Homo-oligomer: A and B are copies of this chain.
């Protein structure tokens, strides 16, 4: 069994990171392992390494706290390797990190992150460092797991925002548009749209027609509902167009200008003549306290990841399947993005309850509005 394990968090913050860290430290302590926190993601393993031992007293009170006490980074020297495959440069980076891991006497790593961070984690495992991954992305687009922690909290926030916009929309007879995260996958938009009673949901998986969206808005007006609520994933795309909207993500330095919500606001106001307003939820989706479900899921993930290491497994990611936390190969988890199946149950549920996806042929799905 490993004597000392390192733990790090990478990518954008998500509610529940601290709950995982707490569970890892508590469980590892019970198993007689030491835990070393690595700061600022994998970057903390480079140059003058930034690490600190984590004992039970260090993780007291962390369960409800948002963010990560270890800090996190979105971009770093490792990512370039993954993206551009410059082996020469990157090999040096990995070598430097491996030397430092060895010097720090770290026998294994628990890595909390999404697709990008876990790809690096898989590489370290290949290079001989036992790794267990913990799936983190509020977008819930990681393969092999039904849920990533942070997603259900993000749903609460997005749904509460839709509740708020509802009362304004009704009072002012307006169209209100909420833009939520989801560059490649529309899970937040889809789930919060169903939970928040949206009239239209726009997701990357189902290219939309502006005319179809406007049609839905007009149909509601004619039916006596003089307002409409639209929730749009930031990565939603208009059919037949190749606009690239800015997304709120972490890759770009510039603040938001001209995202999908703003585009739709202008277009719909023109096409329907109705007052239209938008809100970009942005970072409000990812900060703050995890809800009960995410604290529970994060704790189970954290405890299980230590048990997995204690059993000598490696190269795996903890995952939720059919109510149990199990393990899957990291490599499988990062191989594909989990997107919304256009013919799946959730999309069908949305349509059955009167929600439009703005598809060109949307009409044929709806017996009623």
Contacts and interface: CB of A to CB of B under 8 A. Distances in A.
Interface of A: 9, 12-13, 17, 22-23, 26-27, 29-32, 56, 63-68, 71-74, 146, 152, 155-161, 163-168, 170-173, 176, 191-192, 194-197, 253-258, 261-262, 265-266, 269, 275-284, 286-289, 291-293, 295-296, 299-300, 302-304, 306-307, 321-325, 345-346, 348-349, 352-354, 366-368
Contacts of A258: 257
Given A288-B163, A288-B164, A295-B194, A171 B67 contact: yes
Contacts of A262: 255-257
Contact of A322 (B146, B171, B302): B146
Contacts of A261: 255
A280 B277 CA distance: 13
Max chain B C-beta neighbours (<10 A), residue from A161, A282, A287, A306: A287
Nearest to A75: B275
Nearest to A224: B57
Contacts of A276: 255
B303 A353 contact: yes
Given A172-B71, A284-B164, A293 B323 contact: no
A43 to B, nearest CB: 11
Given A322-B321, A345-B324, A292 B66 contact: no
A292 B195 CA distance: 5
A168 B295 contact: no
Contacts of A192: 292
A73 B174 CA distance: 11
A8 to B, nearest CB: 12
A336 to B, nearest CB: 16
A160 B26 CA distance: 22
Nearest to A145: B323
User: Which one of A23, A32, A170, A276 has the greatest number of beta carbons of chain B within 10 Å?
Assistant: A170
